[in-house]
Amino acid sequence: MTPEFWQQRWERGEIGWHRAEINRHLAEHWPTLNAAPGCRVLVPLCGKSRDLLWLAAHGHRVIGVELSPIAAQDFIAEHGLTATRTQSPPFERVTCDEVELLIGDFFALMPAHLGTIGAIYDRAALIALPPDLRQRYAAHLAALVPSGAVSLLISVDYDQNCMNGPPFAVNAAEIAQLFGDDFHVAQVGDHDVLDDEPQFRARGLDRLTEQVFCLKRR
- Is the pLDDT score of 16 beyond 70? no
| Buried b / exposed e along 97-119 (16+ C-beta atoms within 10 A) | ebbbbbbbebeebeeebbeebbb
Tell whether 6 is in a known binding site.
no
Tell whether 10 is in a known binding site.
yes
Contacts of 91 (CB under 8 A, 6+ apart): 102, 103, 104, 108, 109, 113
Q: How high is the mean pLDDT of the chain? A: 93
C-alpha–C-alpha distance, residues 144 and 117, integer Å: 8
Instruction: Say if residues 60 and 97 touch (Cβ distance below 8 Å).
Output: no
> Residue 189 belongs to what H/E stretch?
strand 183-192
Least confident of 2-11, 29-38, 45-54: 2-11
C-alpha–C-alpha distance, residues 217 and 111, integer Å: 15
The angle at the Cα of 6, spanning 174 to 200, to the nearest 5 degrees, equals: 60
C-alpha–C-alpha distance, residues 93 and 20, integer Å: 24
Tell whether 14 is in a known binding site.
no
**Residue 2 pLDDT grade (very low, low, confident, very high; cuts 50, 70, 90):** confident
**Residue 78 pLDDT grade (very low, low, confident, very high; cuts 50, 70, 90):** very high
Fold (CATH) for 3-10+23-217: Rossmann fold (3.40.50)
- Is the pLDDT score of 8 beyond 80? no
Which residues in 36-148 belong to E strands, given as ranges?
40-44, 61-66, 84-88, 91-96, 99-103, 117-122
Give the pLDDT confidence score for residue 17 in this predicted structure: 62
pTM tops 0.85, yes or no: yes
Give the pLDDT confidence score for residue 7 in this predicted structure: 72
Tell whether 123 is in a known binding site.
yes
Mean pLDDT of 176-200: 95
Tens-place pLDDT, residues 155-187:
999 999 998 888 999 999 999 999 999 999 999
DSSP assignment letter at 151? E
